[in-house]
Chains A and B, each alone.
Chain A
């Protein structure tokens, strides 16, 4: 291993490279840093994708795979909605319906929303935002992707085995998930798939935290990091809290299914000195373990997208983010509280501490409210530009607000008892997760696509995509609130025709197909972008953060030069020397100094 004292752009790739930090751009004006990116760096073609440890290639691999999973899960959702558009539809058998809603939820939550954010966008963007040449552990990063890909294949293999895919819901409650109630290889493949993707997520969490703690450029202090990077740091910590619990719980579930361990079953109970449950397992233990993962998981899925929106809103409002530190501390507060509220999913079991979990759940509204205040404050008096990314970000605000408000309702046990396991809950969590992962996720895709590929997506097609999606979103999920309040339970393939539920289900199905059409437009946009590329340039949005300083797409190891980092907006400061960012906490003092004396 040789020490190569040269910028990364001239370092050989024949051996592992000792990277050097690129020199600072000498002053403003000529941009000497925008020239790299076209050297020969190792294998090409399929071998490049198999062997690359470059965070950008791995990030793109994650995004492509997760988008495939998203489209597959979307097709499953359309089949589910078609089935429910009439009370006694024979489109699907009950067994097929159970498999589809299980796999729809599993693909969306485990294989799309999380991996797209912390595997895809974070992998690609975080090292760029902090001025790092790569992730801290590149080979571990590559391994994470291969575990994720093979985990995804393992889960989809369920459709090919006798008995079909897993059909016990994405939460796999015991004893329904036991080998007695859900026999067959489909359930086992589901468990093994989540074990693989669980390890993948843990490795990615380690990598994110290590990268952010150790590979920041000089001057990139913690409180100069972009909010997206902050959110990914907090997400990485949440992953390290939550995923080991899930992975170990899954291994125990597998042992229950095959080795008769009875960890999650009450078989074998015996009385010992008046303790009626001593010496036996408990189905509620699975719920406790699962939701100790599951509720932080909601924020593992949400926080990255909060970060994306916090990047997009300032750029298209032509302002710095309002309340930077407030945003950071609110993220921490949300993450901390979200780890203490797992049992609010278990209110109706009658075996959890209602006031404790209700109180902590309600408290999450406070930091979330701070975030909303700051997002609106960022746009307030800004020069708003309604690009596609901006539209998706504003759409996110509306969608997540509705999901959040109904979340506060569900945090109150009396209301939760009334609507638990009805379509009201289905509507709530789709508004939360669709609002964040889809609205926020595609805001990020439209925003960073030029950086990733050096070409633009078409704005007119993007706006068609947004409006069809946005309208379809409300048309799909608002009727589900109503039909839930009318009493329609979730996870049913048929329902009585005399209860007035069908009309709401038809409207919901129409909305789902609008969403489906909107994603067909996105595919068209990709094709148009590749066949007739419009070059993006390095910084098409006149954006603020460091990733926009380098070329589009960035060179191997990201930077040949870096600008001085004196705020959370180094690229803006470099490009606008007469409008430098005011350091945090200095606004009031600077204004005071400007007041003429006497």
Chain B
């Protein structure tokens, strides 16, 4: 995870330096703030990854000499299929249309969003799907 961490930390350093140069050269608020935010976007996850790299050491995918056989076993849990992303997407669709065509649509959109949130949570807990 070291390369990943360094990659993000480089991002933080680069935008930190560029942001400082930009701010002291222009005193322009919007750009300075966005560059600072971008710098944090690199530093925060980069530091997190570096922390875990130091605790975990090299993973199989970080080692040049790792074999596929060493990684045998469970990788992760993946859903087979699920209707809830579709339901959630439709809920979001109707909700944004409500802002354009009338708030009555929100009564269709929000229940779909809440239903999808509940459905996906239940699905994750019991491991099943529709």
Contacts and interface: CB of A to CB of B under 8 A. Distances in A.
A2 B1 CA distance: 29
Given A17-B77, A150-B92, A292-B34, A219 B63 contact: yes
Given A23-B72, A185-B101, A339-B15, A18 B34 contact: no
B9 interface: no
Nearest to B116: A143
Interface stretch (A44-52, A75-83, A87-95, A452-460): A44-52
A19 interface: yes
A24 B67 contact: yes
Contacts of A353: 22, 25-26, 28
A245 B38 CA distance: 10
B61 A340 contact: no
Given A43-B81, A356-B22, A215 B75 contact: yes
Q: How large is the interface on A (under 10, 10 to 19, 20 to 34, 35 or more residues)?
A: 35 or more
A417 interface: no
A425 interface: no
Given A50-B83, A213-B1, A221-B62, A356 B26 contact: yes
Interface string B31-62: 10011001001000000010000000000111
B28 to A, nearest CB: 7
A218 B81 contact: no
A340 B22 contact: yes
B93 A154 contact: yes
B120 interface: yes
B78 to A, nearest CB: 5
A454 B7 CA distance: 36
A192 B94 CA distance: 11
Given A196-B93, A241-B41, A143 B85 contact: yes
Contact of B89 (A149, A195, A241): A149
Which of A5, A50, A285 neighbours the largest number of chain B CB atoms within 10 Å of its CB? A50
A159 B84 CA distance: 30
B110 interface: no
Interface string A311-349: 000000000000000000000100010011011000000
Contact of A51 (B26, B34, B81, B96): B81
Nearest to B89: A146
B68 A19 contact: no
B64 to A, nearest CB: 6
B79 A53 contact: yes
A146 B79 contact: no
B3 interface: yes
Nearest to A18: B74
Contacts of A336: 11, 14-15
A31 to B, nearest CB: 15
B80 A41 contact: yes
B28 A133 contact: no
Interface string A88-112: 0000000000000000000000000
A579 interface: no
Interface string A210-225: 0001011111111100
Contact of B80 (A53, A185, A192, A222): A53
Interface string A28-70: 0000000000000111000010111110000000000000000
A366 interface: no
Interface string B1-37: 1011001101100110010011001101011001100
Given A16-B80, A217-B68, A218-B68, A142 B86 contact: yes
B27 to A, nearest CB: 10
B35 A218 contact: no
Given A19-B74, A185-B100, A138 B79 contact: yes
A288 B31 contact: yes
B22 A16 contact: no
Given A16-B129, A53-B85, A218-B66, A343 B99 contact: no
B90 interface: yes
Contacts of A1: 77, 126-127
Contact of A221 (B21, B64, B83): B64
Given A17-B77, A139-B85, A154 B96 contact: yes
Given A42-B80, A342-B31, 7 more contacts: A14-B128, A20-B73, A50-B86, A51-B81, A241-B38, A241-B41, A565-B68
